[in-house]
Chain A
Amino acid sequence: MTIDVTKTREAATVPPPGNASPKKRVPQGHRRLLTRRDRLTLGLMAGVPTILHVTLVWVTALASIALAFTTWDGIGFDSIKWVGLDNFKELFTNNPQFWPAVQHNVIWFVVLILIPTPLGLFLAVQLDKNIRFSRVYQTAYFLPVVVSLAVTGFVWQLVYNPDTGLINSIIGANKPGHYIDWIGDPHLNLWAILVAACWRHTGYMMILYLAGLKGVDPSLREASSLDGANEWQTFKNVVFPTLRPTNTVVLVVTIIEALRAFDLVFVFNKGAQGTELLSILVTNNIIGESSRIGYGSAIAVVLLVISLAVIIPYLISTFRKERSA
């Protein structure tokens, strides 16, 4: 009972914006049908998962924000000191890894959206034609998505290894002195890793677009071809515009993936020279030798702000559509 009281009070104080015209699910009167026990059950059903999720995800996210304005070596709470914006000042002006990391995250996103995304769309369009062996091709492109990024990292190291790797062996650059050091060279390694990232992302995009294409009304396509449009015209003017919801999802997924990128880089070279990423900088502040918690949190806050700038508009549009649906 008590749980339910707090729930309804919460409801009264925090009305979701613009919820004035609720679509009726269960009519209001039915709430009266709920017994005391039902209310308790419901309270627990929503309460337990919410407490777990909010504590471990949202409270820690807020704690990250708070810690970003402090300095703390992690030993005892009394060593926490408020330093205002100092962490951010140092981060923006005095950290040789920060701006490269930001730049690499941006590059990561741009590459993912320019190469594997259109490629995934192209493959999806081809495989959607019900051609023979479609399943086999689909599996080949999709396999990298199933294999973990960490394992992927090990597999690609075998490809990039300077003296034993596939690429250098084929192009004859595996003799000492003639190495192309794909993993160690700070001008090359980011691009080498991005090839592996694209390899994986393509299959993911392909599946999302395949699902989107299944939702395209076949009569639209037929009408278009009866009107004499060729394949490209039909795609451009009829099919692609109907894929708009999928495109939104693809965009959001790709931004989030670019911000989350971690495993591949960690396995390759732990984000050393040339492959810095925001996620790697945060992690290095925890599992590295230096335990600079406030500073690490400041980097996390930068990551949080960028992600929320994407997540919030996306969710607003998604939920608005859902409510009007």
Chain B
Amino acid sequence: MSTPALPLKQRTPVRPARILLHTFLIVTSLAWLAPLLWALFAALRPYSETSEKGYVSWPDKLSLDNFTNAFTQSDMTHYFGNTLLIAVPAVLLTLFLSSCVAFYVSRFDFRVNLFLLLVFTAGNLLPQQVIITPLYRLYLLVDLPGITMSGKLYDSALGLVLIHVAFQSGFCAFVLSNYMRSLPHELTEAALVDGASVWRLYWQIVLPLCKPAMAALATLLSIWIYNDFFWAIVLISTGENMPITSALNNLSGQYFTDPNLVAAGALLTAIPTLIVYFALQRQFVSGLTLGANKG
């Protein structure tokens, strides 16, 4: 409790131990970056050079050729576009729908609340493979002529959006309901007595207060949905319709003889997530721990 003890403790680090600790942290963090740096190194060199001199060799010249080639030859903009088409609606819809559920279960005293929240939370914890077989069949069954390119829910961006929303809203509903529960009750009670509609309570009072949690979840969801591989691999069959991560899988099959090009493609694919992470680091990390702290 004594305040002077605190700065004192911080000012007297045990020197040799600190140096040892920093050495350890530097070595391990370099080891952690090594695979990514190795991929970068390979991607910066032409295949002809590495095949001749071996991969562990001094580079003659480094160039961005592999990156430009991967970008143009494989039509990456198209696949990035596919991903945007899936991720943007999926993130927005997930946030909207899960905040609705969270509002319902956290601000009102219905008896289904706990059960409803359990259903959502448990659903998100299931491994995706548990539901994929019937889902795949269901997607093949649903005809949507004229609405999707494939005429079905299967092999369409819409299908991926729906499953992302359904699956991720479990986690978001749980997090947001915890968040909304911590808002003072007087806030909505008073408005309700004054005759405000339920929708106004949600849209004008509760939702604006949830901005920090929503921002954190939005960051997290964008990265998760962008990174999705499984749903896209199973529910999309046409290469043209694939989002970027699963398209990369095709690309590597096509260019497997040139690992340097594949490395460049893989790194290009990772760039958007890295940008989001570095720009919104705080939101991302707090999002990850929003659900975890509660447990």
Q: What residues on A are CB-neighbors of B266 within 8 Å?
A: 151, 154-155
Instruction: Tell me if A311 and B293 are in contact (CB < 8 A).
Output: no
Q: What residues on A are CB-neighbors of B36 within 8 Å?
A: 143-144, 147, 155
Within the complex, what minimum Cβ distance (angstroms) separates A46 from chain B? Answer: 4
Docked CA distance A27–B193 (Å): 12
Instruction: Tell me if A279 and B129 are in contact (CB < 8 A).
Output: yes
Q: Which one of A53-61, A92-100, A183-191 contacts B? A: A53-61
Interface residue A248 (Cβ < 8 Å from any Cβ of B): yes
Q: Which one of B61-69, B72-80, B94-102, B208-216 contacts A? A: B94-102
Within the complex, what minimum Cβ distance (angstroms) separates B176 from chain A? Answer: 11
Docked CA distance A28–B28 (Å): 57
Interface residue B71 (Cβ < 8 Å from any Cβ of A): no
User: What 1/0 mask marks residues of chain B from 271 to 289 whose CB sits below 8 Å from any chain A CB?
Assistant: 0011001000100110011
Within the complex, what minimum Cβ distance (angstroms) separates A57 from chain B? Answer: 4
Residues 35 to 69 of chain A near chain B (Cβ within 8 Å):
35, 37-38, 41-42, 45-46, 48-50, 52-61, 63-64, 67
Docked CA distance A108–B270 (Å): 25
Which among B34, B98, B246, B259 has the greatest number of chain A C-beta atoms within 10 A?
B259
Q: What residues on A are CB-neighbors of B108 within 8 Å?
A: 25-26, 31, 42
Docked CA distance A210–B1 (Å): 23
Instruction: Tell me if A25 and B185 are in contact (CB < 8 A).
Output: yes
Instruction: Tell me if A287 and B22 are in contact (CB < 8 A).
Output: no
Instruction: Tell me if B245 and A151 are in contact (CB < 8 A).
Output: yes
Within the complex, what minimum Cβ distance (angstroms) separates A218 from chain B? Answer: 8
If A25-B109, A211-B289, A315-B118 touch, whether A285 touches B133 (CB-CB below 8 Å) is yes
Q: Which one of B84-92, B144-152, B226-234 contacts A? A: B226-234
Instruction: Tell me if B246 and A150 are in contact (CB < 8 A).
Output: yes
Instruction: Tell me if B274 and A246 are in contact (CB < 8 A).
Output: no
If A56-B131, A154-B263 touch, whether A48 touches B100 (CB-CB below 8 Å) is yes
Instruction: Tell me if B101 and A49 are in contact (CB < 8 A).
Output: yes
Within the complex, what minimum Cβ distance (angstroms) separates B114 from chain A? Answer: 4
Among A208, A215, A287, which residue has its beta carbon within 8 angstroms of that of B234? A287
If A22-B109, A156-B35, A263-B229 touch, whether A58 touches B119 (CB-CB below 8 Å) is yes
If A136-B29, A170-B56 touch, whether A25 touches B106 (CB-CB below 8 Å) is yes
In the complex, residue of chain A having the shortest beta-carbon distance to the beta carbon of B47: A164
Within the complex, what minimum Cβ distance (angstroms) separates A89 from chain B? Answer: 19
Instruction: Tell me if B263 and A33 are in contact (CB < 8 A).
Output: no
Q: What residues on B are CB-neighbors of A165 within 8 Å?
A: 55
Docked CA distance A121–B165 (Å): 32
If A24-B109, A49-B169 touch, whether A282 touches B129 (CB-CB below 8 Å) is yes
Docked CA distance A11–B6 (Å): 53
Q: What residues on A are CB-neighbors of B246 within 8 Å?
A: 150
Interface residue B239 (Cβ < 8 Å from any Cβ of A): no
If A149-B227, A150-B245, A207-B285 touch, whether A64 touches B131 (CB-CB below 8 Å) is yes
Interface residue B173 (Cβ < 8 Å from any Cβ of A): yes
Among B54, B112, B259, B284, which residue has its beta carbon within 8 angstroms of that of A158? B259
Instruction: Tell me if B35 and A199 are in contact (CB < 8 A).
Output: yes
Among B26, B110, B188, B267, which residue has its beta carbon within 8 angstroms of that of A11? B110
Instruction: Tell me if A10 and B112 are in contact (CB < 8 A).
Output: yes
Instruction: Tell me if B110 and A266 are in contact (CB < 8 A).
Output: no
Instruction: Tell me if B29 and A52 are in contact (CB < 8 A).
Output: no
Within the complex, what minimum Cβ distance (angstroms) separates A288 from chain B? Answer: 11
Docked CA distance A78–B293 (Å): 50
Interface residue B162 (Cβ < 8 Å from any Cβ of A): yes
Docked CA distance A34–B267 (Å): 54
In the complex, residue of chain B having the shortest beta-carbon distance to the beta carbon of A34: B198
Among B110, B230, B263, which residue has its beta carbon within 8 angstroms of that of A155? B263
Which among A154, A267, A296, A315 has the greatest number of chain B C-beta atoms within 10 A?
A154
Among A35, A59, A262, A304, which residue has its beta carbon within 8 angstroms of that of B130? A304
Q: What residues on A are CB-neighbors of B119 within 8 Å?
A: 50, 53-54, 58
Instruction: Tell me if A126 and B115 are in contact (CB < 8 A).
Output: no
Docked CA distance A218–B10 (Å): 13
Q: What residues on A are CB-neighbors of B123 within 8 Å?
A: 53-54, 57-58
Docked CA distance A314–B291 (Å): 13
Q: What residues on B are CB-neighbors of A323 within 8 Å?
A: 114
Docked CA distance A303–B273 (Å): 30
Residues 20 to 50 of chain B near chain A (Cβ within 8 Å):
21-22, 25-26, 28-30, 32-36, 38-39, 42, 50
In the complex, residue of chain B having the shortest beta-carbon distance to the beta carbon of A16: B114
In the complex, residue of chain A having the shortest beta-carbon distance to the beta carbon of B224: A148
Docked CA distance A8–B111 (Å): 8
Instruction: Tell me if A141 and B169 are in contact (CB < 8 A).
Output: no
In the complex, residue of chain B having the shortest beta-carbon distance to the beta carbon of A259: B127
Measured CB to CB, the residues of A under 8 A from B are 7-8, 10-12, 14-16, 19, 22, 24-28, 30-31, 33-35, 37-38, 41-42, 45-46, 48-50, 52-61, 63-64, 67, 74, 123, 126, 130-133, 136-137, 139-144, 146-151, 154-159, 161, 164-166, 169-170, 174, 196, 199, 202-204, 207-208, 210-212, 215, 218-219, 222, 225-226, 245-246, 248-249, 252-253, 256, 259-260, 262-263, 266-267, 278-279, 282-283, 285-287, 293, 296-297, 300-301, 303-304, 307, 311-312, 314-315, 318-319, 322-323
Measured CB to CB, the residues of B under 8 A from A are 1, 5-6, 9-10, 18, 21-22, 25-26, 28-30, 32-36, 38-39, 42, 50, 54-56, 97-98, 100-101, 103-112, 114-123, 125-138, 162-163, 165-167, 169-170, 173, 178, 181, 185, 188-189, 192-193, 197-199, 202, 223, 226-230, 233-234, 245-246, 248-249, 252, 259, 262-263, 265-267, 269-270, 273-274, 277, 281, 284-285, 288-289, 292-295
